[in-house]
Amino acid sequence: MSWRTIASKDYHESKDSRLVRYLLYLFVAACLIGGYVFPVTTTGDVTKDRFAGFMTATITLLLPLLGILLSYNAIVGERESGRLALLLSLPHNRQDVVFGKLVGRGGFLALGVIVGLFGAGALVIYPFGSVSATSTVSYLAYVLLTLAFGAVYFGIGLTISTATVSKQRATVAAFGVFFVFVIVWDAIRDGSAFLLDQAGLIDGTLPQELPNWLLFLHGAEPGMLYERIIEGFFEGSESGPYLSAEAPWYLGEWVALVVFLVWAVVPLLVGYRRFEVTDL
């Protein structure tokens, strides 16, 4: 049971980091504000599954940052300072350490998501909305999906943390991923469209449309997937380059879900495996 010791240690450590704590507060506050404002800005039944889409922009910005920040330092920081050796000299095996860190730090992230989204949900339902069995199930699914989205970036951070040897490199890698995936990803799409147009590979008329295989690749970024799953499953949207009836099957929400789950599982597994076999 020694992973529990590590989990509680890491949970408290995360809680003690001021940056992470304030970011978590910010995330929860953003969710609550979203839930508060949503009924005013919308017409018709507020409980009709559009809240998820309303929150997407906020969540795809804040949650990756929080997830990566919580995990990128989990191993490498302790390895660099020698505390990891200390930790492993105590009767903890490596699985315990990684699993404990996963539960402790991940628990902190999950707590933020759950508190934020359930608080927001309550503000959406009360006093203007209503609760039904289907809306509850759908909202729970939404929370699960968002948790999984947090897990994607948490896993990426953990992989970085186990794969790097210095804290500095881990920091660069973590913010690199965040920068590429979250900040400039949309620009990459426009940029590549522009380049392909210049090269004469695609039809230059506006709006420039990428070929389907490139759309698929571009759309395989976790945030894009998350957005598409919400649009496809929760809002039942059937427009846009991905979800319209003319789009090929592999751009649809079902494939998006599969790719998303791969994102949620693989980085975590890779990070875990690497840590098990690497020299300290």
Q: How far is the CB of 27 from another protein (least distance, A)?
A: 21
Q: Are 280 and 84 in contact (CB under 8 A)?
A: yes
Provide DSSP, 33-46. HHHHHHHHH--S-T
Selected range binding another protein among 24-32, 35-43, 63-71, 205-213, rule: CB under 8 A: 35-43
121 to 140, contacts with another protein by CB under 8 A?
123, 126-127
Selected range binding another protein among 36-44, 74-82, 144-152, 186-194, rule: CB under 8 A: 36-44
Question: How far apart are alpha carbons 238 and 106 in whole angstroms?
Answer: 34
Selected range binding another protein among 34-42, 54-62, 77-85, 149-157, rule: CB under 8 A: 34-42
Nearest Cα to Cα of residue 209 among 255, 251, 260: 251
Question: How far apart are alpha carbons 263 and 260 in whole angstroms?
Answer: 5
Nearest Cα to Cα of residue 78 among 167, 174, 2, 7: 167
Distances (CA, A) of 97 to 14, 41, 82, 244, 262: 15, 46, 14, 46, 24
Q: How far is the CB of 46 from another protein (least distance, A)?
A: 11
Residue (39 or 150) nearer to another protein, CB: 39
Does 22 engage in binding with another protein (CB under 8 A)?
no
Radius of gyration, CA atoms only, the chain: 21
Q: How far is the CB of 32 from another protein (least distance, A)?
A: 12
Binding residues with another protein: total (CB under 8 A) = 6
Q: How far is the CB of 36 from another protein (least distance, A)?
A: 8
**Of residues 40, 133, 199, 245, which one binds another protein by CB under 8 A?**
40
Give the residue carrying structure tokens 């999984």: 148
CB atoms within 10 A of CB 152: 28
Selected range binding another protein among 33-41, 65-73, 150-158, 185-193, rule: CB under 8 A: 33-41
Q: How far is the CB of 54 from another protein (least distance, A)?
A: 15
Name the site residues for another protein (rule: CB under 8 A). 36, 39-40, 123, 126-127
